[in-house]
Chains A and B, each alone.
Chain A
Amino acid sequence: MSPDAVAARILGLLDLADEDPTHEELEPYLADPAPEVRRNALGVLSDHTEDWTAASPVFAAALTDEDPAVRAAATRLVRELSEVLVPGEEFDAALRRATTHADATVRLEAIDALWRHRLTTVDELTGLSGDPDAAVRCEVVLGFVSLDALDALARAADDPDPSVRLAVARGLGAVGDPRGTATLTCLAADPEFLVRAAALTAMARTGCGDEAVHVAVAALTDDAWEVRQGAANALSSAAPDERGAAALVTALGDENLDVRKAAVKTLGAWLPSRPAVRSSLESALSDVDADVRAYARMSLTN
């Protein structure tokens, strides 16, 4: 199709857009041989449709369009319109086709739409968890999180890519189930420091058992301040004990202000059951950082 013919088709589409076109009126443009026309037709459809049940499969089907620009427009629209798209047989089938597309962005978006619309299962996501692209596997992890699939998350924690393990650690924190602590304890020994930090931070949500306390106390001496901060946060969900209190008091002298802040917050929460930490909190009132001083003051006055 010549550029002039494409321009004429686009102008025809734009004229139609001024008249609130129906889905049927847009159909010739949605199936146009020129990708520019198809891409713009998707935009016009999203602007004007009132029948989302009929329109939803169109956006899902466009995820597997042969043209990358149309696919990019479809992926953007499927995400943007997530709250108004209506799942149905065609919509679901189109998304499932997209999960095996060669384009990783399409696979990622399809998996995202499947779990956001609650159309997927742990078994289906497990089948997709072997994707060669790490970003897609991260999306699968988010799907597991949406289903509170702790066993599947535990298996994903062995992923060779740190970004996936990071997603698992954050996901277990989001689920907040104490049964996730065992996986988090393993991730707290991860070679990647951001994974260790995320795992320890997540323990603050899942709870910190005896073994986890041991790991968190040891992590308070980690080289990375992010990990030390995560460890101080993790201990906030643990039962106050002598070992943890001593490690947190030491952390009050950490060179990093975020670590000191996390330590002072946890010690503040422990103060009612361990009055011995009061003197340490009082010494934090003269910290060089205003946040640390403020949290110490709040702990001592509340």
Chain B
Amino acid sequence: MAQATNRVDVPVSVDQSKCIDGCTLCVDVCPLDSLAIDPETNKAYMHVDECWYCGPCAARCPVDAVTVNIPYLLR
């Protein structure tokens, strides 16, 4: 599976300033295990560039830090 090298231009972006250190809700709900916790910052990020655009990661985030960037043709 392709690794996400650019953490901004990925299907799911996480606002690091809002993400809560210690929360793993988005990681837990992702059906593709595309999200992970950065061991250095303890914040979530998208580590593989795969997404079904299903949305629970954004819906369950307690601080609205997760945004699913749904492609125009899928909206």
* Partner-B contacts on A (CB < 8 A): 7, 10-11, 13-14, 36, 39-40
Q: Is the CB of A14 within 8 A of B21?
A: no
Q: Is B31 among interface residues, defined by CB-CB distance under 8 A? A: no
Q: Which residues of B contact A11 (CB under 8 A)?
A: 20, 22-23
Q: Of all chain B residues, which has the CB nearest A11?
A: B22
A-B contact count (CB 8 A): 20
Q: Of all chain A residues, which has the CB nearest B17?
A: A3
- Contacting A at CB under 8 A, from B23-72, are 23, 25, 62-63
Q: Of all chain B residues, which has the CB nearest A37?
A: B62
> How far, in whole Å, are A154 and B53 apart by their CA atoms in the complex?
46
Q: Which residues of A contact B23 (CB under 8 A)?
A: 7, 10-11, 14
Name 20 A/B residue pairs within 8 A (Cβ), A-sorted. A7-B20, A7-B21, A7-B22, A7-B23, A7-B63, A10-B20, A10-B23, A10-B62, A10-B63, A11-B20, A11-B22, A11-B23, A13-B62, A14-B23, A14-B25, A14-B62, A36-B62, A36-B63, A39-B62, A40-B62
Q: Which residues of B contact A14 (CB under 8 A)?
A: 23, 25, 62
Ranked nearest first, the 8 interchain pairs of A and B with the lowest CB-CB distance are: A7-B20, A40-B62, A10-B62, A11-B22, A36-B63, A10-B20, A11-B23, A14-B23
Least Cβ–Cβ distance between A192 and chain B, in angstroms: 29
Extra pairs beyond A10-B63, A40-B62 (12, CB < 8 Å): A7-B21, A7-B22, A7-B23, A7-B63, A10-B20, A10-B23, A10-B62, A11-B22, A13-B62, A14-B25, A36-B63, A39-B62
> How far, in whole Å, are A14 and B27 apart by their CA atoms in the complex?
14
- Most interface-central of B23, B25, B62 (chain A CB within 10 A): B62
Q: Of all chain B residues, which has the CB nearest A6?
A: B63
Q: Of all chain A residues, which has the CB nearest B63?
A: A36
Q: Which residues of B contact A7 (CB under 8 A)?
A: 20-23, 63
Q: Which residues of A contact B62 (CB under 8 A)?
A: 10, 13-14, 36, 39-40
> How far, in whole Å, are A39 and B62 apart by their CA atoms in the complex?
8
Q: Which residues of B contact A13 (CB under 8 A)?
A: 62
Least Cβ–Cβ distance between B49 and chain A, in angstroms: 28
Q: Which residues of A contact B22 (CB under 8 A)?
A: 7, 11
Least Cβ–Cβ distance between A137 and chain B, in angstroms: 30
Least Cβ–Cβ distance between A68 and chain B, in angstroms: 13
Q: Which residues of A contact B25 (CB under 8 A)?
A: 14
Q: Which residues of B contact A39 (CB under 8 A)?
A: 62
Q: Which residues of B contact A40 (CB under 8 A)?
A: 62
Q: Of all chain A residues, which has the CB nearest B59?
A: A43
Q: Of all chain A residues, which has the CB nearest B25?
A: A14
> How far, in whole Å, are A36 and B25 apart by their CA atoms in the complex?
15
Q: Which residues of A contact B21 (CB under 8 A)?
A: 7
Q: Of all chain B residues, which has the CB nearest A40?
A: B62
Least Cβ–Cβ distance between B17 and chain A, in angstroms: 9
> How far, in whole Å, are A7 and B62 apart by their CA atoms in the complex?
9
Least Cβ–Cβ distance between B63 and chain A, in angstroms: 6
Q: Of all chain B residues, which has the CB nearest A17?
A: B25
> How far, in whole Å, are A38 and B33 apart by their CA atoms in the complex?
29
> How far, in whole Å, are A7 and B63 apart by their CA atoms in the complex?
9
> How far, in whole Å, are A36 and B23 apart by their CA atoms in the complex?
14
Q: Of all chain A residues, which has the CB nearest B24?
A: A14
> How far, in whole Å, are A199 and B25 apart by their CA atoms in the complex?
49
Least Cβ–Cβ distance between B8 and chain A, in angstroms: 23
> How far, in whole Å, are A14 and B21 apart by their CA atoms in the complex?
13
Least Cβ–Cβ distance between B28 and chain A, in angstroms: 10
